[in-house]
Amino acid sequence: MKRYKYQLILPVILGMILYNGCAAKAPNAMKNDSEKLTAKVIAVLPVNNKTLDMKAPQLLRLKVLDELYFKGYSRLPLEVIDKKLELIYNSEKKSSAGVLAPDVIRELIGADAAMYCTLTEGKRTSSLFYVPVTVAAHCELRSTQTGEVLWRAQYKTTSRNFDLPGKSLEMKSYESFETVIEEVVNKVLETLPDGPNLKG
């Protein structure tokens, strides 16, 4: 009887360990006084892509823009940002790391803050019966007036899709990719204080 109970409990324990290991969120750094975060308009810059996936950064950026809107920040169209950035993208105003300085963003776009996001992982690993999808990203909000970091956070998660080998399994992995990116964005931005449009 005891052996039977152990056979039931063991999969549950293993499942909990796997779940906790698949989703990891690093501590966020933010001003202690959330009232000091006075940004009203945030420019979401193109994602710094550390992966081989070309579509994931665009999807991540769109999700960040949408989430900022729902958190009470004014929507600044990505097309407007990109059009402004084209003017100096190959100029010397970028840092040695290829990142536009916050004061340049203020000069070009007039935003109060700039959101810098990096996609550090975005991969689908093929296997016989399952395809794990891993996405990891971190974002940093910087004042365009002072250049200081107002807030930052990061998150990583893995989703596993089980099915018989073939097109069905491949399709599941592609469908879950967007869901995983959305989860990462939600978790990253959940610690960002609400914007002025929600504070009234």
pLDDT digits (tens, 9 = 90+) for 25-35: 444 545 434 44
What's the confidence (pLDDT) of residue 168?
Answer: 53
* Segment 115-170, tens digit of pLDDT: 999 999 986 665 556 667 889 999 999 999 999 999 999 999 987 655 545 455 45
Tell me the one-letter amino acid at 41.
V
Average pLDDT over residues 34-41: 69
Task: Report residue 22's pLDDT band, with 50, 70 and 90 as the boundaries.
Answer: very low
What's the confidence (pLDDT) of residue 27?
Answer: 44
Residues 6 or more apart whose CB falls under 8 angstroms from that of 157 comprise 22, 23, 24, 134, 135, 136, 180, 183, 184, 187
Residue with the two structure tokens 């999808």:
133
Task: Report residue 37's pLDDT band, with 50, 70 and 90 as the boundaries.
Answer: low
Helix (H, G, I), strand (E, B) or coil at 168: helix
pLDDT tops 70 at residue 171: no
Rounded to whole angstroms, the Cα distance separating 75 from 180 reads 23
With a pLDDT cut of 90, the percent of the chain lying above it is 48
Q: Which of 77, 70, 75, 111 is nearest to 198 (CA)?
A: 70
